[in-house]
Structure 1
Amino acid sequence: MISRHERSAITTTLLPTEWPGMSAFLRALNEAENLEATQFTILRAALEVAPAAQAAILLADDSGMRLTPGLSIGFQPAIAGASDWRLEPSQTLNFTEGRHLVLRADTENWDGMPALVGFWLSRGRSVTVSPICHAGRLVALLVRTVENRVPSDPSKNPTLLSLLEHSAIAMEKALALENFRRRREELPAVLDVVDEQRLVLERTLSINDEFTRMVLDGQGIGAVVATLGRIVDNPVVIVDRFFNLLEHYSTEDRDGLDNGHRFIITNGSCPSAVRYDPEVQAVMASLAKKRRPSRLMPLPRHGFDKPRVVAPIVVDQEIIGLISVLEGNHPLDVLDLVAVERAATAIALRLMKEQAAVEAKYKLKGDLIEALLTGSYGSDEEIILKRAAYLGIDLHVPHAVLVVGVEGSALSTRKETSEHEPLSPHAKVLAVLERACRRKLPEAVVTAKDDEIIILASFRPAAGTDGLFETRKIADSLHVEVPQWLPGITISLGIGGPCNILADYLQSYEQARCALDVIKASRLRGRILAFDQLGINGLLFDLHNRDKALRFMEDTVGGLLAYDERHHTQLAESVHRYLLHDRNIERAAQVLFVHPNTLRYRLQRAATILKTDLESSEAICNLHWATKVLYGLHSD
């Protein structure tokens, strides 16, 4: 509403005498209660001062660049409501300088005109557009249509100009009052939002304090997961980087779980097909980048068919686990997501503490194994026995030393590390073997020495068995673990002799390394060889002769093995079976399941490749020794 001071200023202005209704117009402006009444007063006066068929007001925003429809007289509502005109800066400048726009019905350029202007121009009517400005700012535009093809210029109508000048003041005040009323109406909603945000903040602080207190009190992951499950009122499953179960929270009947998470809880892990599914790997990469809870799409083919929120557990920029919250009971809200994120931080801190303890113990065990395998423990055996007992290793029972070789196409096709796969293949194999030993051989010790992975496993031979049988069982149980969890990677294991006294460990370690070297020389993969399987040939593989023996094997049959590897043939094995059966073609062919003539051809081809005579006693002796050692690996 116009103030008393402004009203006085208006009434004392020298007004044109041509229009006697000016005083009534000013009173009507002063008495207008809202923006709509103000617009109606202006339009009615404008049509009286400058007669027109239709009239409308377009309201300008604070920038004066965008116009929206206001009140109109004579225009169809659909046409008036369609107006939405964005002015160019030059057009706004022209209007603020008081310039009027006169558009004749025969104009050919309507680009940039609001819808109602173009509508009436297309119907043979002329249009005038007059600015309503106040204090150098465009407040609105007055649009009028006339029947004349040559409309009169509004700038030459002093009464209309005076009306527009007073209208600008009234419009400015009406707009201010309208904004004030709207904001006053919005105030309760704003206060509600502020109050809601305050409650969220208070609850967020409470959640943060609760998880922080749990960490400071030394409570385990189980307590954190149970608290998170209670807060979000949904099932919670925690897995490590290999998707092995760490903890879970759900009802006794496991209501709200999907089949995928039920499998993890029941079996303690999920199939490796899930871990290496391209879609799952893409999710892991996204989580590694975002490092915050994310809502994931279902994976029905793996049984994860319910919506869920997954948060990464990050330690030292590395994802070491995942929190999966199924939205089985209800979708998670903002506070639930905050709780999930705080729980991930609490679990990360707890795992860091556990990891530090494990690494300290691992370092001590590594030092102990280093001393045992190198014989650097000195003359006081009692000290090394006490150190072992302190670490939970009973050296009074027999042990076996196993050395692991890591193989497979994945070693050359995968990068050593990446943002979401920070572990090298050797480190992954070490982690898998550590986990397998904890589950199958809790007394075993797994450690890394340079590029080797060494396992020290205790055994107690059953009645009627020897140490080789028991250690072979251990190797077999570990051998299947790696390809199951790491597709594309296999391992070979060399097994040393049994260790009954401290002096045996150095020898057993060297024997295990020797057995692994023989496997590598055979160019075979995924094999297990115990040094004792070499029999009397093992005498040639002592610490001083090993390199010479391996080089002799390579010189003797290396060319044949390379040919077999390139052409997928069995020439080396054919020579081995021929010599093993006292050079009897028929018996060897029967064992190889081939025709005797086929075996004769293979032997001729092998002799050609080796450039030797298979009738020579020296060649027969050398080949018999080399192939017997190598193909002793096939006995497994």
Structure 2
Amino acid sequence: MVLASPTVQAERIVTEALGAVLDQQAGILERVEEAHQILVGVVLAGGGLEDLCQRLAGFLGGAAMVTSSDGRVLARAGSEGDLAAALALDCFDRTGRLITEHEPVGIRPSHGANARRAMVRIAAGSLNHGLLAAFVGDRPLTADDVHLLERAATVAALAITKEQAVSAVESKYRAEFLRDALSGRAGSPTEAVAHASALGWDIDRRLVVVVAETDEDDAHSTRSPEEVGVLQERFARAWNQAMAVRDPRAPVMGFSQEVVALCGVPSNADTDAIMRTVSEVVRVISGIGGGGRRTFSTGVSRPIDSVADLPQAYDEALSAVSVGRQLHGDSAVTHFDGLGVFRLLALIPDSADLRRFVDESLGGLAADDSPENVDLRRTLSILIDTNMNVAETARQLFFHYNTLRYRIVKLEKMLGPFTTDPQLRLKLALALKVHQMRGI
């Protein structure tokens, strides 16, 4: 018997090892290709992102999610335990948003807790549609798992593109109807209610109109029109998603730079209760920042009980969002009833006239160039609000009574005898209100 030389034996071992590796790689590629074909079949058969996540969770074990590019979860699948474990991870903020700005995409190191999750981008051409994420609890995700995720992401892009095409057609008719309803051109209340019901909306109940406007002025933005369109679409989708959880039959549509929602409210709900509900929706949509989210301000109308009152309620919500931003800055949430005299002041188109009125009425106190001016304006404001009650004003300002008396003398030397002249007090009160408004 002739023994093979050591060189031949070594070559045989290398050949067998290489063959085993190639067989393993071929098996992996076959598994990935098979999974890819199954996922494509799911979408072609009419399935959506939820079905896609369900299949992917089955392939990898654990949970799978699709998020928007700013981390808002659009679809998810897996057992309740796997989903709960995933959402409890530090990669989600308290609003349930995936903190995309802190999560790398692609292959990760195979050690550490972060190795048990992976994310890949969902892209179609130059558009970023979000992330496809996988979470497992019993092993690190390998490069082959990430490769499967990347193949699945191309299928997810197909599903999203398909949903967007269908949604664009549906949105056109929904938007046209809602525009007509908000302008009073949707026919009789009975016809409008029936049309809305056919679209899946319920407007035959007590409603408030909510208008949310991005604080960034898209008309003078440095962003490209395509990017602005994507951001506005994301904004509208966020409102739709948040409202679908709380009021599935509420009309929600995006128009240009604003989103309009008709929110149902209980018949016994007062303004405070309504604002708590709206503020909670706003909180969910805003998250805690990050992910490229843009700030927005929100205006809320008075409640209405008839579709015929929608145009007036829409005007109220528009006034609330516009004046609220002037009073409180970006991210304001304002009810129409909270505007008071500011409603009338906002109707003056020329802000230069308002500025002149403030300067003429308050004189040197109109400037913010010294802390003393700010302090004296506050003293004057509280005096007027308390109807010249010196004792109450001193209590609110934590001043000694005589100190406040000295300040009143100083203010009257600057502004005139406002303590005895009601017309002057009215003029100063209006000037102080105008001074609170921004952009004048």
Which residue of the partner structure matches residue 218 of structure 1? 46
Is 1:443 the equivalent of 2:249? Answer: yes
Match of 1:235 in 2: 62
2:193 pairs with 1:385: yes
Percent identity over paired residues = 22
For these two proteins, the number of residue pairs brought into alignment is 420
Cα distance between partner residues in 1 of 2:265 and 2:136 = 47
Task: Tell which has more relative contact order, 1 or 2 (C-alpha 8 A, sep 6+).
Answer: 2
Q: 1:319 to 1:591 in 2, by over 3 A?
A: same
| Alignment of 1:207 onto 2:40 | no
TM-score by length of 1: 0.54
2:152 is the alignment partner of 1:343: yes
Task: Give, in angstroms, the shift of residue 370 of structure 1.
Answer: 1.5
Q: 1:445 to 1:577 in 2, by over 3 A?
A: farther
Contact 1:231 1:339 in 2 (8 A): no
Correspondence for 2:78: 249
The verdict on how the C-alpha distance between 1:228 and 1:532 changes in structure 2, with shifts beyond 3 A counting, is: closer
2:163 pairs with 1:354: yes
Cα distance in 2, alignment partners of residues 297 and 556 from structure 1: 68
**Among 256, 263, 267, the residue aligned to 2:88:** 263
Structure 1 346/626 Cα, relative in aligned 2: closer, same or farther at 3 Å? Answer: same
Q: Retained in 1: the 8 A contact 2:253–2:259?
A: yes
- CA distances 1:180-213 after superposition (whole Å, capped 9, x unpaired): 9997886555655555555444434322222222
Larger radius of gyration: 1
Q: Which residue of 2 aligns with 1:455?
A: 261
Give the TM-score taking structure 2 as reference length: 0.74
* 1:590 equivalenced with 2:403 (yes/no): no
Spell out, residue by residue over 1:21-79, the C-alpha distance to the aligned partner (whole angstroms, 9 max, x if none).
Answer: xxxxxxxxxxxxxxxxxxxxxxxxxxxxxxxxxxxxxxxxxxxxxxxxxxxxxxxxxxx
**1:238 to partner: Cα distance:** 0.8
Q: Taking structure 1 as reference, are residues 624 and 319 closer, same or farther at Cα in structure 2, changes over 3 Å only?
A: same
Measure the CA separation in 2 of the matches of 1:455 and 1:498.
13
The reply on whether 1:373 has 2:182 as its aligned counterpart is yes
Indicate whether 1:295 and 2:123 are aligned: no
Instruction: Determine if contact 1:589/1:595 at 8 Å carries over to the other structure.
Output: yes
Partners of 1:243 and 1:208 in 2: CA distance: 24
Q: Give the corresponding residue for 1:281.
A: 101
Q: In structure 2, how many angstroms separate the alpha carbons of the residues matched to 1:447 and 1:207?
A: 37
- Residue of structure 2 equivalent to 1:478: 281
1:519 to 2:324 alignment: yes
Rate the CA distance shift 1:216–1:491 in 2: closer, same or farther, 3 A: closer
Q: How far apart are the structure 2 equivalents of 1:606 and 1:361?
A: 62
Cα pair distance change 1:275/1:580, threshold 3 Å: same
> What is the root-mean-square deviation of aligned Cα atoms in Å?
4.7
Gaps of 5+ in 2: 1-6
Compute the displacement of 1:525 (Å): 5.0
Q: Which runs of 5+ in 1 are unaligned?
A: 1-177, 288-292
In structure 2, give the amino acid aligned to 1:477.
E
Instruction: For 2:44, give the aligned amino acid.
Output: L
Specify whether residues 508 and 334 from structure 1 end up closer, same or farther in structure 2 by C-alpha distance, changes over 3 A only. Answer: closer
Q: What one-letter code is carried by the residue in structure 2 that aligns with 1:437?
A: M
Mapped partners of 1:526, 1:602: distance in 2 = 36
Call closer, same or farther: CA 1:343–1:602 in 2, change over 3 Å: farther
SS of the equivalent of 2:46 reads coil
Aligned-pair CA distance for 1:369: 2.3
How is 1:124-273 mapped onto 2 (pairs within 5 angstroms)? 195-196=23-24, 198-232=26-60, 234-241=61-68, 242-245=70-73, 246-250=75-79, 254=82, 261-263=86-88, 270-271=93-94
In structure 2, what is the equivalent of residue 148 of structure 1? none
Provide the residue aligned with 2:3 in structure 1: none
Q: Does 1:396 pair with 2:396?
A: no
CA distance in 2, matches of 1:607, 1:482: 48
